[in-house]
């Protein structure tokens, strides 16, 4: 009976180790994607040289606004997740984890300003 309990406990430990690896990788990918998307929008700012100057100005403003938004998103999640990622990476390198990090996920409410043209 003791061996069975040991096997179950070991399986749970290995499962949690895999979850930590997956979580760290998912966070890395979200940050990497936001960085790529910001660069992608920046490249779109000068993509239509054949358009009228007014249209070029509008397209450039639109693209740069989205590039800034994605850059801010990247910075926000990178800062928010930094302590959790650091702890996960220390654990994966088999360093002793001396702190318990209480991390509360909360949904961010983003309010967009609505402009009435009338």
**Sign of the CA dihedral 75, 114, 37, 45?**
negative
**Percent of the chain having pLDDT more than 90?**
43
Q: Which residue has the higher pLDDT, 114 or 86?
A: 86
**How distant is the alpha carbon of residue 9 from its chain centre?**
32
In this prediction the pTM is: 0.69
Instruction: Judge whether 78 and 99 are in contact, CB under 8 Å.
Output: no
pLDDT digits (tens, 9 = 90+) for 9-46: 888 888 888 888 899 999 999 999 999 999 999 999 88
Q: What pLDDT shows up at residue 49?
A: 83
Q: What pLDDT shows up at residue 14?
A: 82
Q: What's the 3-state SS for the chain?
A: CHHHHHHHHHHHHHHHHHHHHHHHHHHHHHHHHHHHHHHHHHHHCCCCCCCCHHHHHHHHHHHHHHHHHHHHHHHHHHHHHHHHHHHHHHHHCCCCCCCCCCCCCCCCCCCCCCCCCC
Q: What pLDDT shows up at residue 118?
A: 46
**Sign of the CA dihedral 24, 28, 30, 31?**
positive
């Amino acid at each position: 009976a003791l061996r069975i309990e040991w096997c179950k406990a070991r399986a749970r430990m290995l499962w949690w180790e895999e979850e930590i690896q997956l979580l760290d990788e998912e966070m890395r990918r979200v940050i990497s994607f936001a960085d790529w998307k910001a660069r992608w929008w920046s490249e779109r700012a000068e993509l239509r040289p054949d358009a009228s100057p007014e249209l070029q100005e509008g397209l450039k403003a639109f693209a740069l606004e989205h590039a800034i938004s994605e850059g801010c998103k990247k910075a926000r999640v990178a800062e928010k997740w930094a302590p959790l990622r650091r702890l996960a990476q220390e654990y994966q390198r088999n360093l002793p984890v001396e702190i318990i990090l209480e991390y509360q996920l909360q949904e961010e409410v983003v309010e967009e300003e609505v402009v009435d043209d009338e």
